[in-house]
Amino acid sequence: MVTRPDVTVIVPVLNGEDVLAVTLASLVRQLDTLPELEVIGVNDGSTDRTAEVFGHFSSRLPGLKVIENERPVGLASARNLGLDAAQGKRIVFLDGDDWMAPGRLASLARSLDALQCDFIRTDHVVARGHSRVLHRAPHFPRGTVVPARDAILPYDHESMVDYPYAWAGMFDRELLDRGLLHFEDGLYTAEDRPWIWRLHLRAERFAVVHAPEIFYRRGSITSLTQIYDARQLHFIRAYRQALEVVDSDDEAALYMPKFLRQLTAIAAHHVQRSDRMPRSLRRELRVGVRELLSLVPQEPLRQQWQEISPLRRSVLQEFVDPAIRRSVPR
């Protein structure tokens, strides 16, 4: 019989020599309360001293294994490599520039075992310089198990499918065995959007719980939110895949308004900031948004078109059918 570690933490990182030591040191502190810990680092084609940082922690983290990619494959594929190698009873994601408070993993494991659900989620703290701001998972009450799909609606308020952060929680291994934890290979941005929809539509039960904090580092100049290249347009492919997940569900009509509210928000965001993109990329964005909005069910889109903000309508009006535009009285 295979003896599995209590928890596997998957740590993908690209060129993280300046921040990775903080991440790994926070995992060393978890050993005080959770000694059976497997850490799978994925060095995603780094050209700096990331490999040396992993090597420095090899003696301090006995359960550390490192996968070395010759070339970067992106966050989604790097996480998948970690998932394929994971042996733990429970799975946790931790990006290579984030860190967690002592006792977090043991607390999450106790909650997952006590609640007997498929996965649990938590709040997180956004760290920007010396600033620390708490962001709450949009689901209450805490510590109460509910069907995972019950946390998708209402469509016009923030819900758990708007909180896609894979690192803000812990997942039972059964989800991995069922294929619900893998990401779409090759996505560099928005990789968590089809993932979170699939998770909430196909997993059974979940809960949001209190736990020691996880800190999400913002403001890195290498973040893709600061870079304007073709990877930014991966949201189009991601939302096509999310559309397939939602549209194939038996209750697709119930959840499609929520999906469309989310889709129009992200599409408008990218169109609004497209003046910072190269002309060829801007053209590709416009073609992609138009095709994506033509693929969604048009009657639910017409209904949502009447409810979204006038600003969002003005940004997206050229991308929808004229009949939908005319459905809103002038």
What is the Cα–Cα distance from 94 to 324, expressed in whole angstroms? 42
Q: Given a cut of 60, is residue 300 above it in pLDDT?
A: yes
**Burial class of 276 by CB neighbour count within 10 A (0 to 12, 13 to 18, 19+):** exposed
Determine the pLDDT at residue 330. 66
What is the Cα–Cα distance from 192 to 61, expressed in whole angstroms? 28
- Beta-bridge mates of residue 221: none
Determine the pLDDT at residue 225. 47
CB contact at 8 A, 324 and 298: yes
CB contact at 8 A, 65 and 181: no
Determine the pLDDT at residue 2. 64
Percent of the chain predicted with pLDDT > 90:
92
What is the Cα–Cα distance from 165 to 302, expressed in whole angstroms? 30
Determine the pLDDT at residue 222. 47
Query: Please, which contacts does 48-57 make with residues 24 or more away whose CB atoms are closer than 8 Å?
Result: 48/15, 48/16, 48/17, 49/17, 50/13, 50/14, 50/15, 50/16, 50/17, 50/20, 50/96, 52/17, 53/16, 53/17, 53/20, 53/21, 53/24, 54/20, 54/24, 56/21, 57/21, 57/24, 57/25, 57/28
What is the Cα–Cα distance from 252 to 264, expressed in whole angstroms? 17
What is the Cα–Cα distance from 130 to 24, expressed in whole angstroms? 20
Q: Given a cut of 70, is residue 320 above it in pLDDT?
A: yes
Determine the pLDDT at residue 101. 98
**pLDDT tens profile 46-63:** 999 999 999 999 999 999
**Sign of the four-CA dihedral 87, 93, 97, 101:** negative
Q: Given a cut of 60, is residue 196 above it in pLDDT?
A: yes
* Domain coordinates in residue numbering, the chain: 7-223, 228-325
Structure tokens at 169: 């929680």
**pLDDT tens profile 66-115:** 999 999 999 999 999 999 999 999 999 999 999 999 999 999 999 999 99
CATH number at 7-223: 3.90.550.10
Q: Given a cut of 50, is residue 43 above it in pLDDT?
A: yes
Structure pTM?
0.94
Can you tell me which residue has the tokens 């962001």? Answer: 135
**pLDDT tens profile 224-240:** 444 557 888 999 999 99
Mean pLDDT over the full length of the chain: 95
